[in-house]
Every structure is written in C-alpha cells, then in structure tokens.
Amino acid sequence: MKLRKVTAASAVVLALAVSATACGSDKKDEGSSGGGGKKKITVGIKFDQPGLGQKTPQGYSGFDVDVAKYVAKKLGYNEDQIEWKESKSGDRETMLQRGDVDFIAATYSINAEREKKVDFAGPYLLAHQDVLIRADDDSIKSPADLNSKKLCSVTGSTSAQNVKEKLAPKADLQNYPTYSACLGGLQSKQIDALTTDDSILAGYASQDQFKGKFKLGGFKMTNENYGIGVKKGSDLKDKINKALEQMVADGSWEKAVSINFGPANYKYEPAPKIGDIKS
C-alpha cells in the first residue's frame, strides 16, 4: 500500500512537471519565429484614408500601408504576420506608449511636441497643406483667391482655420463631418475648395468615382514631414530607417507613390533623406 501511494504521488508530480514544461514551451513558441523572435508585428495605420491607409473588403491599401509592409518585411515579417490596428490621430501617442502597436505609419507628421512622447523614423514623405478644387475651376490660382470662396475642412481640423488666419481672411469656412462629405459638396458646387495635406487630397481624388473631376492647387502652404512612430527609446527606429533607405534605393518607394497617388497627378516631393525635417 505504501509503495502504491508513493507511486501515485510521483505520478501526480510528474504530470504537473510535464504540464508546466508544456506551458513554458507554448510561451516560448509564441515569442519565436522570424522578426526578432515574434510571430507577429502590430502596425498602426489609418483605416479611412484612401490612397494612404484604408480598410476595404479586400484588405488594406494605400501608400502608408505599402511603406509599412516593406518595413515589416525588412524586419523579418511576412505580410500574413502583420496585425493591423486602426490608429486615429488623437490616439497615436497613447497606443505607442502602451505598447498596443510596434510602429505607426498613419500620416503621422513629425513635430517637437510629439517627439517629447515618441520617437520617429524617417521622414518617408514630405507633404504640404494644399487645396483640392474642381478640375474645371480656373478661378483659384493662389491662396489669396480663396477669399470669399467657400472653403471646406473636417470639423476639428486646423487646416481651414490656418488658411483663414494667414492667407485668406475673407474665406467662408464650411465645416463638414468627413472628407468624403467635403468631396460631395465640392462635386455639387456647394463648396469651392477643400483643404488638408496634399497627400490626403490626392488619395481621395484618386478614387475611381472622382478620377478627372478634381485637381490640386499646388500651393504648398505648410511642410508636413511624415514619419513612422515608435515607442520612446525603441531600437526599432534605426532598423526602420535602414528599411526606408532601402525602399528608396531599390525603387519601391517611387512605385508605391505612383500607384497610390498617380491618378490625381500629384506633384510629390522627392523621397526625403532620413532625419531631414523641413520646417
């Protein structure tokens, strides 16, 4: 009887040990495979910006998405190892600080205030604040021509306010809930111009239903240096910078710009040099 009890106890101990080992093995597997020991990399993008970051029934598309895919591949991850997360403008710093994402590529302009909270790789695109107007409208040839015109931007955006305060004080500001609503108003002639970053405008104008209907003013009213955000102190910054340099060198950057913005005749800037922030 004694021997039987000892054997039974030993069996329980052995079972627990095997179970613990198996659990430890599972954890190890979760943190192994490609890309610095992780099975997946989590990337923040916009879900609602055509030409830049958009979620569709077919998947994810846009210039930011193409940049993110290229960078992830250079970090050792295949496309099916990328977990995409929506990164709204007001949430980006918090998402990086909490570790919700590994990096963010979401029309994320580099500025001093943000650099206090997160680090940036790049820039990978130099955009400018501009206006989108109807293709047949020849009355708006400079920012001053926006005086007395109906100028649209999204509620909460500072873009239209910047134009009114600095360039066209008599502009009639029209706040719409979304850029798509602004585009509808522009098409129906309820408004005369839409303003935000030229890359965003080009993305919307490149949609099939809008091709040939709108044009960019080409005013370059501000400089917007798009960077890839990472957590403060992350060693990913240097790795991403190297990936971005390779993307430019092998022609992938130029190809991505052409595919995503080409239909809008977007006169984009050459690929910026890493660390070259235009004020």
Alpha helices in the chain (DSSP H): 2-30, 63-74, 92-98, 112-115, 159-166, 179-187, 198-205, 236-249, 252-261
Residue 29 domain-assigned? no
Task: Give the chain's domain count.
Answer: 2
In this predicted model, what pLDDT tens digit does every residue of 144-196 receive, in sequence order? 999 999 999 887 677 888 898 999 999 999 989 888 899 999 999 999 999 99
Whether residues 89 and 149 share a domain: the answer is no
Band (220; pLDDT cuts 50, 70, 90): very high
CB-based contacts of 259, cutoff 8 Å, min separation 6: 66
Same domain, 120 and 250: yes
CB 207 within 8 A of CB 196: no
pLDDT in tens, 34-58: 455 569 999 999 999 999 999 999 9
pLDDT for position 182: 93
Domain range for 240? 38-127+224-264
Q: What is the CATH number of the domain that holds 192?
A: 3.40.190.10
User: Mean pLDDT over residues 124-149, rounded?
Assistant: 96
pLDDT of residue 38: 65
Q: Is the pLDDT of residue 240 over 80?
A: yes
Clarify whether residues 104 and 228 are in a common domain: yes
Query: Which pTM was predicted?
Result: 0.81
